[in-house]
Structure 1
Amino acid sequence: MKPATDTKKSSERINHAIDVAKQAHEGQFRKTGEPYIIHPLAVKKILEEWGMDEDTLIAGVLHDTVEDTSLTLDDIRKEFGESVAFLVDGVTKLSNARTGMRDIDTYLPATKDNFLRLMIALGDDIRVLIIKLADRLHNIRTLSALPPDKQKKIAKETLEIFAPLADRLNMGQLRVELADLSFKYVDPKRFNELKTLIAKHNKSAEKSLQKIESEITTALKKEKIKFELSGRVKSVYSLHKKLAKHNQNINEIYDLTALRVIVEDITDCYLTLGVIHSLYKPMGGRIKDYIAMPKQNGYQSLHTTVITKDKHVVEFQIRTREMHEYAERGLAASFYYNEQKLTENYKKGKIEHLPTNLLWITELQMTAAKLREGKKVDLKKLKLNLFADKIFVYTPKGDIIDLPAGALPLDFAYRLHSEIGDHVVGVKINGKMSNLNKKLEQGDIVEILTSKNQKPNTSWLDRIITAHARQKLLHRLNRSASPAEPKKSRKPRKK
């Protein structure tokens, strides 16, 4: 991936930070045997590729100094300013139980894990997470230097925590690399089997793909559509997960190899889709419009799977350049396109300029604030909310409601308003009457039917899955079960 910004000329501040870090880490070595400074410089390079701002680059260079050297936070603040110190402090809190953490640990022992440290840091500045992801990426790239038991532990944590986080931030390229490198250590035998399978498939499909690329190129040029065409090979870990859903039947996996078409604007996206369908037969149910209905993490693209005249099955992904940048770099791309607004407002929880699809981060920041105040939080629920698959469904007026996968109509109703949820008598899904046990699916249009005479009952508890709906329903049931208080007679006022 090409850097989003010109990184050839580092600023004087960045060069100064490198000098400070080299001096601070002098005499320290990594498990690879290399001087330790190699690691923070690698983190800086990754952050540059993601197009991050200068303060984040400097914090990346200095991210281990407070933890591992004699350099203090005050030293960093004096040399590089409050913002850099703020970021370095946040990253440090991810690695050690430092200021304020010990009190929280005694109140909630679960905060000793990396996940909660991550949450606490997020409460300060989302760029801390970006630095931590760059740090984890370089560490996983050099994991072979560690003993086997540590390799597996770090790889498993990366698969369970950091790769899903990258996905939620729509950092697609990062998610793929983190997942594949980790999977290689978690299950090396399976990794090698699938890698061989993918290579074998790609070799057999090479000639047919070249022919398809030639046909598409000719057709798009004829329509005078400006485009870039490239191939996309499915990642090993992604194939592993998909095979599990299809009973290990490789013949049901249609996107082992895909062709990606990048065009200038949305109109060209749909024109290109039409050109492809005029050349090849589209497979039913395999056309997905993520432009009109983006994925929960903000991903946008048109997907279609076609059958060629030679009976080859090929998936196409069609998107604009900006959509592609966001698909690859996600939140980091948001910083690149909105750098000033984002960097000015992320500090101390001010995230009103976050892209709409990333507003789930507010939940993490609220959790961090509760922890710092010594309040209890449901860690299990937070993990589920963060990593669970979600769906977008619509009201008849077109309002978008996001719910966890598996949500039911009552979850939708209570999400709209407790008064609606309390009086549900039926539901229409995509214009047709349905029942309250029907699981909602991506893109469904849901209309809730209500009656003032309807009252909720305990059987509804089996027809909801979200904590929000359960809380609202239980509150209503408890209120209904409480005996009504006798009205107090008013005493006459004394004149």
Structure 2
Amino acid sequence: MSDILELDPEELVAQVRAYNPKSNSDMIRDAFRYGDAMHEGQYRHSGEKYFTHPVAVAMILAEMQLDDATIITALLHDVIEDTKSTYGAVTDMFSSEVAELVDGVTKLTNLQLSSSETKQAENFRKLFMAMSKDMRVILVKLADRLHNMRTIRAMRPDKQAQKSRETMDIYAPLAGRMGMQWMREELEDLAFHVLNPEGRTSIIRRFIRLQKESGDVIHKITSDIRVEMEKTGIEAEVFGRAKKPYSIWRKMQEKEQSFSRLSDTYGFRVITRNEADCYRVLGAIHQRWRAVPGRFKDYISQPKSNGYRSIHTTVSGRDGKRVEVQIRTRQMHEVAEAGVAAHWSYRDGVRVENPFAVDPAKWIATLTERFETAEDHDEFLEHVKLEMYSDQVFCFTPKGEVVKLPRGATPLDFAYAIHTRIGNSCVGAKVDGIRVPLWTRVKNGQSVEIMTAEGQSPQATWIDIVVTGRAKAAIRKSLREEDRERYVKLGRELARVAFEHVGRKATDKALSTAAKQLRLDNSDELLARLGSAELTARDVVSALYPEAISVEDEIDVAAAVVGLEPGQTFNRAQCCQPVPGERIVGITYRGKGVMIHTIDCQALEELADDSGRWVDLQWHSGKHPAVHSVSLDITISNDAGVLGRICSLIGEQNANISDLRFMDRKPDFYRLIVDVDLRDIEHLHAVMLILEADSDVASLKRHRNLDRKP
């Protein structure tokens, strides 16, 4: 948009009314005049009146067809920060909604997102909090940054560099994550112009030279695609463009290729009437040109979380040049252009009913879910950068299965993406059949083969090699498991509690004597084995005081678990229903204390990346009361007296039935879920053994209910 010389609200009002005839034009005019008055006497570095900037921001948002509140916020976004206006004044003159938005933008403006890591992490938390409160705050901030980058030449060179780096690192990736690819590309290119003007100029010169040598490639290929559409009778719009200089530069760096060898420097877009036509277009293009292996992505059948839907394919087009083609419907295209902002778009005075526009609240919830659990600054910042800054690459297993990874990932990330066991035992990798170091960055379309060996375990240096949260969490977990000092510390706590339970003290002499009795080298070896569950506290106590074990009392339910912090409470996870005697792990939940799971619970797979929430726990050694409910899935014969006999068998094992539910009734069999209160894993085995021995029990298994998560 050209600089605004005359500060007249009518141009903005007309643009808003063009897509929203029901717009409150008077309120927009009032906001325009109020902002102009508040910023009176203030000027930009270029010498223009300062208020030209808020008006330009409002015009950018009007081009995105946003609602009145967002447009008014753009006009007023600096009045609380830079003028004598106040939150209360904005509320009185406009609305509490506008005041909240303006206040949110003001707070974001004060965040130093490119400061030191600790402060940066805390400020990122605030950024995501603002996003979760109202996404429009970020939309105004992004438009604000876009106009500042468009006019950055008026700033001092050092300020230009600082703002450009911040834009490249934070605002451009954020715009991309929100689905506004056009804004991401423009922000990147504007920053690239400042940070590497020679590189950008060289790309543009090469484009001009290429155009002189081969003519208007875009027009030729666009015409070729249109001809194919006419042949197949498909109604579609076709557009082509050269990719942005920064996009070309990044590909040259990643692929380590010169401009002349770089492929797909042009992009083409086909807009169809409906989804079925998208696949018809794909078929026509692949029939006409040869598809490039590994460069096909179907985001229609598997949409991105921000609502993006499109088919991407790369083909060898005219003269063997590779070109990328994106195929989508008109509605998909609108969301692809607006991203998450499509939720607020208006047309003809009403909110656009686009079936592909995502609910911003749900989108931000999925984006920030993992951030909420991060316990320290480094972990939080790592999550943010993984979520915001990384594009994706698609690699293949030797069997042809696709593995999706963030850009910059290594064969180690690939190994952990397949399975933690594969990652932990990785000793080498082949990429496209060639042996490569584990720190090699994998690229789109490559085939990766992982070599493993028994006895291999993760090295501490791997943390710096991998980039995915899953891999980092798995490596840290393995390193923790190898941490002897930690096991010794946990073992000492287990021993202290066990000895106190029988009225004794776990002195160094007592532990050394117990170690000799158990034929171990020393007390540290005993404690390490105790902490790693190779020994039980009962074994250690009975080695010295066998008489104390035989007369011990039942353990208090509230103290059944050892390893909690003082004041921490615990609950058993209902998905796996752990009982004493099983290996367990604790997961911290805000407001819920610690939830304990069996070590093999499938629900833990979803928490593999959140290693900071994992707590090493052990069941208290000793006799537990029969209060731990376990669900059994039983199928029995539909004969007289069978159900009564089954209940009696359970009762004979001193186990109480707390609930019984019929799941399926057939003429010959009943299937039911029986909840049984048990002491420990041995008690469970005894109950299941006696039931399995009954001839009328057709099947019996422990019922796992993953739907009943904490």
Matched, 1:472 2:485: no
Q: Does 1:305 align with 2:315?
A: yes
SS in 1 for 2:19: coil
Q: Is the 8 A contact 1:91 1:132 kept in 2?
A: yes
Q: Is 1:50 the counterpart of 2:60 in the alignment? A: no
Q: Tell me the equivalent position of 1:139.
A: 148
Other structure's SS at 1:86 match: helix
* 1:468 Cα deviation from its structure 2 partner: 2.3
Instruction: Return the offset for 1:228.
Output: 0.4
Which protein, 1 or 2, shows the higher relative CO under an 8 Å CA cutoff with sep ≥ 6? 1
Report the CA distance shift for 1:301/1:15 in structure 2 as closer, same or farther (over 3 A): farther
CA distances 1:61-109 after superposition (whole Å, capped 9, x unpaired): 21101100111112223333333222222211122269xx9xxx9x986
1:230/1:260 contact within 8 Å kept? yes
Q: Give the corresponding residue for 1:60.
A: 74
1:320-349, CA deviations, whole angstroms, 9 ceiling, x for partnerless residues? 223322332222124438889999986xxx
Q: Is the 8 A contact 2:343 2:357 kept in 1?
A: no
- The gaps in structure 1 that reach 5 residues or longer are 449-453
1:359 maps onto 2:366 in alignment: yes
| 1:285-339 CA-partner distances (Å, limit 9, x unpaired) | 444444345567646322222233x545443222222332233222212443888
Given that residues 371 and 380 in structure 2 are in contact (C-alpha distance below 8 angstroms), is that contact kept between their aligned partners in structure 1? no
2:296–2:314 Cα contact (<8 Å) kept: yes
1:404-483 counterparts in 2 under 5 A? Answer: 405-406=409-410, 408=413, 411-412=416-417, 457-458=457-458, 462=462, 465=466, 466-478=471-483, 481-482=487-488, 483=528
Answer yes or no: is the 8 Å Cα contact 2:243–2:266 preserved in 1: yes
C-alpha contact 1:180 1:236 (8 A) present in aligned 2: yes
Deviates more, 1:167-176 or 1:248-257: 248-257
- What's the CA shift string for 1:244-269, capped at 9, x where partnerless? 12334223322222322111223212
Q: Which residue of 2 aligns with 1:388?
A: 390
Q: CA RMSD in A?
A: 4.7
For 1:467, the aligned partner's letter is: K
Q: How does 1:74-473 map to 2 (within 5 A)?
A: 74-96=88-110, 110-111=119-120, 118-119=127-128, 121-294=130-303, 298=308, 300-308=310-318, 310-336=319-345, 351=361, 353-354=362-363, 359-363=366-370, 376=377, 378=379, 380-385=381-386, 386-390=388-392, 405-406=409-410, 408=413, 411-412=416-417, 457-458=457-458, 462=462, 465=466, 466-473=471-478
Structure 1 range deviating more: 255-264 or 224-233:
255-264
* Structure-2 change in CA distance of 1:343 and 1:360 (3 Å): same
Is the Cα contact below 8 Å between 1:296 and 1:391 reproduced in 2?
no
Q: Which has the higher helix share?
A: 1
- Separation in 2, partners of 1:294, 1:440: 24
Change in CA separation of 1:51 and 1:471 when aligned onto 2, cut-off 3 Å? farther
Q: How far off its partner does 1:31 sit?
A: 1.8
When normalised by structure 2's length, the TM-score is 0.55
Equivalent residues of 1:21, 1:65 under 8 A apart = yes
CA deviations 1:129-187 (Å, max 9, x no partner) are 21111000011111121122222221222122211222222211101111111111112
Deviates more, 1:251-260 or 1:231-240: 251-260
- How far does residue 127 in structure 1 lie from its aligned partner after superposition? 2.4
SS in 2 for 1:302: strand
Return the offset for 1:6.
Answer: 0.4
Cα pair distance change 1:179/1:275, threshold 3 Å: same
> Larger % of strand: which?
2
Matched length: 464
Give the AA of the match of 1:307.
Answer: G
**TM-score using structure 1 length:** 0.76
Structure-2 residue corresponding to 1:451 = none
Which residue in the other structure is 2:19 paired with? 6
Deviation, structure 1 residue 114: 6.9
Bigger mean CA offset, 48-57 vs 2-11? 2-11
Higher alpha-carbon deviation: 455-464 or 484-493: 455-464
CA distance in 1 between partners of 2:369 and 2:356 (Å): 14
How far 1:472 sits from its partner (Å)? Answer: 3.2
Q: Is the 8 A contact 2:31 2:76 kept in 1?
A: yes
Q: Which amino acid aligns with 2:283?
A: G
Q: Residues of 2 paired with 1:264 and 1:340: CA distance?
A: 14
Cα distance in 2 for partners of 1:394, 1:205 equals 35
Amino acid of the structure 2 residue aligned with 1:43: V
Q: 1:456 to 1:250 in 2, by over 3 A?
A: closer
Q: Cα gap change, 1:75/1:444 in structure 2, threshold over 3 Å: closer, same or farther?
A: farther
Cα distance, 1:253–1:228 mapped onto 2, change above 3 Å: same
Superposition deviation, residue 442 in structure 1: 7.0
Q: Which residue of 2 aligns with 1:15?
A: 29
Give the counterpart letter for 2:390 in structure 1.
Answer: A
SS at match of 2:248: helix
Partner of 2:560: none
Check 1:422–1:400 CA distance in 2 against 1; reply closer, same or farther (3 A cut): closer
Q: Percent identity between the aligned chains?
A: 32
Q: Deviations over 1:224-282 (max 9, x none)?
A: 21100111211011111111123342233222223221112232122112222333333
For the Cα contact (< 8 Å) 2:313–2:324, is it kept in 1? yes
Q: Which amino acid aligns with 1:244?
A: Q
